[in-house]
């Protein structure tokens, strides 16, 4: 999970670094870089390309594409650490979807945990004037969509191979981003390294993330993913001169604290 978080952090960093490109072109780079590795492997291993639950796989693909697109848009508009922290509100919406759609039970302390995270998000918006209202709305919508993705993946569970689920995400992201080709431009010079890197890092992160969940309980490895925020703050400081005052840090801490409290409550059973 540490490797996955590190890879995703570099992927986010490159997405911010490529701010001269349209965000949907960056989505295309990320999706193609993963697709060209996963699809041949699926053919070699005879993993189902279409799957059995086409509707839910497609719905998951659409939500994932939209969420990633919004996230990359926001990354180019606000500090990297702020974008990553605000997207951590996704588990709040995941639990809401699971509660209302999958009829999963939610404990009182989980609701409290999510209120804490929500307060943290609004504290960040209220005290950090670099987070404009549009960016805040877009990143929250991105988080809502991620929450829906988590619920769908949980529903699919053992019904589909994990590579089939990932592949739908990549295909819908590629197709969706092609609608914005009129805003694209050809990469030049070292930019080719960065666009190759964003797809490769996305693949590495996805593989190690999946493997970590296969090797250990979700409640054990999930908190480690929050190292992604630490990486984002470090990268933002040294590469983009992004600094944070006391209250923005308090807001971020509340977001993470609420999510860790949720993990702890679930672990206690």
pLDDT above 80 for 154: no
Note the pLDDT tens digit of each residue in 23-42: 999 999 999 989 999 999 99
Among 39, 9, 33, 18, smallest CA distance to 194 is for 18
**Gap between the Cα atoms of 122 and 243, Å rounded:** 19
Q: How far is CA 57 from CA 80, 110, 126, 170, 178, in A?
A: 30, 28, 37, 11, 20
What are the pLDDT digits (tens) for 179-214? 999 999 999 989 999 999 999 999 898 888 777 766
Instruction: Write out pLDDT tens, residues 61-102.
Output: 999 999 999 999 999 999 999 999 998 888 778 778 878 877
Amino acid 83: pLDDT: 93
Query: Is 0.85 surpassed by the pTM of this model?
Result: yes
pLDDT of residue 51: 94
What DSSP assignment string belongs to 27-90?
HHHHHHHHHHHHHHHHHHHT--SS-S-HHHHHHHHHHHHHHHHHHHHHHTTS-HHHHHHHHTTH
Residue 246: Cβ-neighbour burial (10 angstroms; 0-12, 13-18, 19+)? exposed
pLDDT of residue 169: 93
* pLDDT band at 7; cut points 50, 70, 90: very high
Pick from 3-7, 58-62, 75-79, 154-158: least confident: 154-158
Q: Measured between alpha carbons, how far is residue 98 from residues 91, 123, 157, 160 in Å?
A: 10, 26, 13, 19
> What pLDDT score was predicted for residue 145?
93
> In the chain, what are the domain boundaries?
2-268
Q: Name the packing angle between helices 90-101 and 133-156 (round to 10°).
A: 50
């Amino acid at each position: 999970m540490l490797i996955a978080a590190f890879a995703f952090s570099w992927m986010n960093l490159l997405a911010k670094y490529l701010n001269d490109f349209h965000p949907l072109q960056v989505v295309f780079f990320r999706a193609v870089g993963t697709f060209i590795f996963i699809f041949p492997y699926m053919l070699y291993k005879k993993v189902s390309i279409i799957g059995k639950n086409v509707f839910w796989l497609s719905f998951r693909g659409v939500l994932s594409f939209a969420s990633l697109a919004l996230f990359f848009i926001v990354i180019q508009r606000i500090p990297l650490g702020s974008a990553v922290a605000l997207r951590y509100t996704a588990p709040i919406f995941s639990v809401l979807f699971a509660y209302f759609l999958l009829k999963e039970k939610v404990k009182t302390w989980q609701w409290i945990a999510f209120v804490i995270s929500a307060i943290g998000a609004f504290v960040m918006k209220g005290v950090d004037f670099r987070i404009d209202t549009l960016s805040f709305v877009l990143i929250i919508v991105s988080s809502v969509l991620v929450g829906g993705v988590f619920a769908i993946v949980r529903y699919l569970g053992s019904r589909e191979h994990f590579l089939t689920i990932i592949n739908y995400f990549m295909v819908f992201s590629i197709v969706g981003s092609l609608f914005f080709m009129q805003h694209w431009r050809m990469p030049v010079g070292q930019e080719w390294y960065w666009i190759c890197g964003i797809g490769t890092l996305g693949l590495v992160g996805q593989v190690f993330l999946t493997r970590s969940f296969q090797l250990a309980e979700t409640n054990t490895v999930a908190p480690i993913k929050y190292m992604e925020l630490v990486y984002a703050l470090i990268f933002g400081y040294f590469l983009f001169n992004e600094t944070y005052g006391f209250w923005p840090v308090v807001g971020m801490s509340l977001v993470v604290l609420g999510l860790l409290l949720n993990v702890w409550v679930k672990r206690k059973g």
